[in-house]
Structure 1
Amino acid sequence: MDDPEISIRVFLVDDHAVVRTGLAAYLDTETDVDVIGVASNGRQALDELAVLASNGGAPDVVLMDLLMPEMDGIATTSAIKARWPEVEVVAVTSFVEEQQIRGALEAGAAGYLLKDADAAEVVDAIRAAVAGEVRLDPVAAKALTASLRAPKDGSAALTGREREVVLSIAHGNTNRQIAKALGVSERTARTHVSNILAKLGLTSRTQAAMWAVREGLVSAQGDGPP
């Protein structure tokens, strides 16, 4: 998405029409964002996304409400990441409970925003998701940090290079930044990230960062070993 001529394709999922309308209206003012569809619940979203994907037009980012009828946002996020792993999901919700935050991130969400966020913050999270970065509302980040006290389980054995990459992910570095730090191509960095996720049985960079905290590779604040 470095080309300014390429728009970020966004799909909105929220059971409140006023929220969908408001977000769509604001996003349509951004020259690099194109709202390509909306849905009022998870099941409808999956149906609409299937049609878009079959026509070669899957979105880059889905803005996802969490509390909806028919199928909630966490289940929908998990289904999206399973069927279309290249599609990023950013949760936009009113809830800051640790269980909801962790559930969304473990389902594969690349961001967690509150509905009182500034419109500019939403756009920033969309752009960050496409760039392979994560945006968490400060309140959500604080709640998540407080919950990350699980003991080390040594569940996966990574190579030395893979541990370097996980540390970079945990510090919020993009694939480009990881590549520069390691002296490799961006494609090689992407391959390392994909291999790590597969080895750990994870589906997102956020989950890899959480794994690094649980394993004690970095502190909950992400500033180095605890």
Structure 2
Amino acid sequence: MIKVFLVDDHPFVLQGLESYLSTQDNIEVIGVSQSGREAIEEIKRLKPDVATVDLHLGDISGIEITAQIKKEGIGTEVIILSSFSKDEEIIAAIDAGALSYLMKDSPPQKLVEAIFAASKGEPVLHPRIAKKIMKRATGKDLSIEPLTTREEDVLACLVKGKSNKEVGEELYISTRTVKTHVSNILKKLDVNDRTQAVIKAIDNNLVKR
């Protein structure tokens, strides 16, 4: 039986999580708390196998709770369950010792899977979070849709500051075709103009400087 402690400052969310998890085989919710400081003391006392912790609470953050739990060395694995996915908060939570990070829009079954995985010391990450962590590790934004070879050629010309006419002359294509490629590049990079495209291309090593 996996012993779980739940931390969330929204009563409705907390009750929903407790009710759902109580229907699952081999999972026992041994405590809940709406207060971060209270949660730390209760987790130290009850020593659950897994704690699901909301990132933003009324008193202290889920990052602080995670750090305190890990500092105690009681063996409780932490799953951050949040509505937020700011890069700096994700990295801070993982650095503090959180094993898994799920968004609250994840299917309920995903949390169950994460709890079972956490009981074995195995991480589970929301796909959006996994991309952010990989972006940090590789320096590349993995959410960028791949460009075609010709789009890469056009983008390389944009980085050099060339106009549509100059791009067409260099690549032996019409200005109209250049405009089509530029439009596709902006969509794939999710930017509004050529300048933003150039900045994103350089930041993510999409072209050689």
Taking structure 2 as the reference length, what is the TM-score of the superposition?
0.64
2:41 is matched with which residue? 47
1:103 equivalent among 92, 96, 104: 92
Q: Distance in 2 between matches of 1:50 and 1:135?
A: 24
Residue aligned with 1:90, SS = strand
What whole-Å deviation, never above 9, does each CA across 1:140-171 have from its counterpart, x for those lacking one? 11111112247xxxxxxxxxxxxxxxxxxxxx
What amino acid is aligned across from residue 21 of structure 1 in structure 2? Answer: Q
Taking structure 1 as the reference length, what is the TM-score of the superposition?
0.60
Mapping for residues 28-39 of structure 1, pairs under 5 Å: 28-39=22-33
1:163 is matched with which residue? none
1:164 is matched with which residue? none
1:121 equivalent among 95, 110, 122: 110
Residue aligned with 1:148, SS = helix
What whole-Å deviation, never above 9, does each CA across 1:31-55 have from its counterpart, x for those lacking one? 1100000011210101212332xxx
Residue aligned with 1:135, SS = coil
1:94 is matched with which residue? 83
Shift of residue 85 of structure 1?
A: 4.2
CA contact (8 A) 2:44 2:72 kept: no
Residue aligned with 2:105, SS = coil
- Which fold has the larger relative contact order, with Cα–Cα distance below 8 Å and residues 6 or more apart in sequence? 1
Q: Which runs of 5+ in 2 are unaligned?
A: 140-209
Shift of residue 83 of structure 1?
A: 0.5
Shift of residue 97 of structure 1?
A: 1.2
Q: Which runs of 5+ in 1 are unaligned?
A: 1-6, 53-57, 151-226
1:19 equivalent among 7, 13, 17: 13
CA contact (8 A) 2:44 2:74 kept: no
What whole-Å deviation, never above 9, does each CA across 1:91-132 have from its counterpart, x for those lacking one? 000111111111111111110000011110000000001111
CA contact (8 A) 2:5 2:48 kept: yes
Percent identity, please.
Answer: 41
Specify the structure having the higher radius of gyration (Cα): 2
Q: Distance in 2 between matches of 1:126 and 1:23?
A: 12
Residues matched between the structures, number = 139
Q: Distance in 2 between matches of 1:42 and 1:91?
A: 13
